[in-house]
Amino acid sequence: MKKEKVSRRHFIGTGMIAAAGVALASKSSFANSFFAPAKPNSKINGVQIGVITYSFRSMPGSIEQILKYCVECNINYIELMGEAAEAYAGAPARDGSTDYSAKLAQWRENTLIDPFLAIRKMYNDAGITIYAWKPNALNAKNTDGEIAYAFKAGKALGCSHVTVELPTDAAQTQRLGDIAEKNDMMVGYHAHTQATPDLWDTALAQSAHNGINLDIGHYTAGTSTSPVDFILKNHKRILSMHVKDRKFHDGPNMPWGQGDTPIKEVLQLMKKQGYKFPATIEQEYKIPDGSDAVKEVKICRAFAAAALA
C-alpha cells in the first residue's frame, strides 16, 4: 500500500499554531474573575490524540511535571506510566536491597487508593484524562495482590485499562485476564517487533478482559507491512494505540514523516471509521540538538493535526 510521505519541515511550518502549548491560567484574582482557565484539547476531527509519559523520559518526571508537559503540548489524554504515580502515592524508593521487591509488594497490597484519586482530580481539574496506566506490577513475578492493586489504582486514576508488555507465557495472560475480570478492568497488551497479525490471538481468546495496546511503529518495523489490515480486523479489541514512525525491516525510529509507518493513513482510517480508542504519541526518535521532548511532542501533535485536517 503506497504511503503518502510528508516532510517534517512542512508539518513544523503548518502545524505549530495548532500544536502550541496552552499557557497556564493566571493566578491573579482579576484573571480568575473574568477568564476561564484554558484547558488542553487534542481531540481532532473526532480522533483522540494522546501521549504516554515515556515521551518525556528525558525530562524530570514527577506527577506535577508530567501534568505541566501535557498542558504545554495541548494534549488532554495520557497513558501514565507507573513510577511517577507510585512515588506520589508514597511507594518505598528503590534502595538496591535484596528484599526491595518484597517491600514494594507489601506496600502495594496494603496501600490506600486515596493518592490515586487525588492524582485523578489534579489531572481532571486541568482538563486531562488519564485513560490508561502502565505500572510495573503485572508480571509473572508479581503477586495476585499486586495485580489486583494495579487494577484498583488504575480505576481510581480514571483509566479504562492498564497496559503491559505481552507475556510469552499464555498462563500469565490467562491469569491477568481472570484477575482483570474480578476487578472489572481491561488489560491492553503491548508488543514490539515480535508483532505478527496473529500474535494476540491466544490472549484475546482467553478472556474478554484481554485487549490490544497496538504500536503501529513497532508493527511496521517488525512485519515490514502496513498495520491497516490488522486494525480493520481487530479494531473491536484495540484499547489504545501508540504512534511512532519506524523504518521497515526492524529499522530505526524516525521523526514523523521520515519513516515507513503510514501514520496519516492510520489516522485517516480512525477518522473515517469513527474508532474511539486513542492514538497516543510515543516520542522515541533521537531528539535533535537544541530541542527537547516537549518541543518534539508538539511537533508530533502538529503532524497528527495536519494529517487529520
Q: Which single residue is written with the C-alpha cell 503491559? A: 164
Instruction: With a cut of 80, say whether residue 15 has pLDDT above it.
Output: no
pLDDT of residue 36: 53
Q: How far apart are CA 158 and CA 156, in angstroms?
A: 5
Instruction: With a cut of 80, say whether residue 284 has pLDDT above it.
Output: yes
pLDDT of residue 33: 38
Name the phi and psi angles at 145, rounded to 5: -65, -40
pLDDT of residue 259: 98
Which percentage of the chain shows pLDDT scores above 90?
Answer: 87
6, burial (CB in 10 Å: exposed 0-12, middle 13-18, buried 19+)? middle
pLDDT of residue 95: 87
pLDDT in tens, 144-153: 999 999 999 9
Instruction: With a cut of 50, say whether residue 9 has pLDDT above it.
Output: no
Name the phi and psi angles at 133, rounded to 5: -130, 135
- The pLDDT of 249-261, averaged and rounded, is 98
Cβ proximity of 49 and 43 under 8 Å = yes
pLDDT in tens, 203-225: 999 999 999 999 999 999 999 99
Residue boundaries of the structural domains of the chain: 8-19+37-307
pLDDT of residue 37: 60
Cβ proximity of 281 and 304 under 8 Å = yes
Instruction: With a cut of 80, say whether residue 261 has pLDDT above it.
Output: yes
Q: Which CATH architecture has domain 8-19+37-307?
A: Alpha-Beta Barrel (3.20)
pLDDT in tens, 17-48: 444 443 333 333 333 434 556 899 999 999 99
* Res. 96 pLDDT band, cuts 50 70 90: confident
pLDDT of residue 8: 45
Say whether pTM exceeds 0.85. Answer: yes
CB atoms within 10 A of CB 135: 25
Beta partners for residue 215, in sequence order: 242
Residue environment code for 149-173, b if the CB has 16+ CB neighbours within 10 A, otherwise e:
bbbbbbbbbbbbbbbbebbeeeebb
Cβ proximity of 205 and 247 under 8 Å = no
pLDDT of residue 86: 97
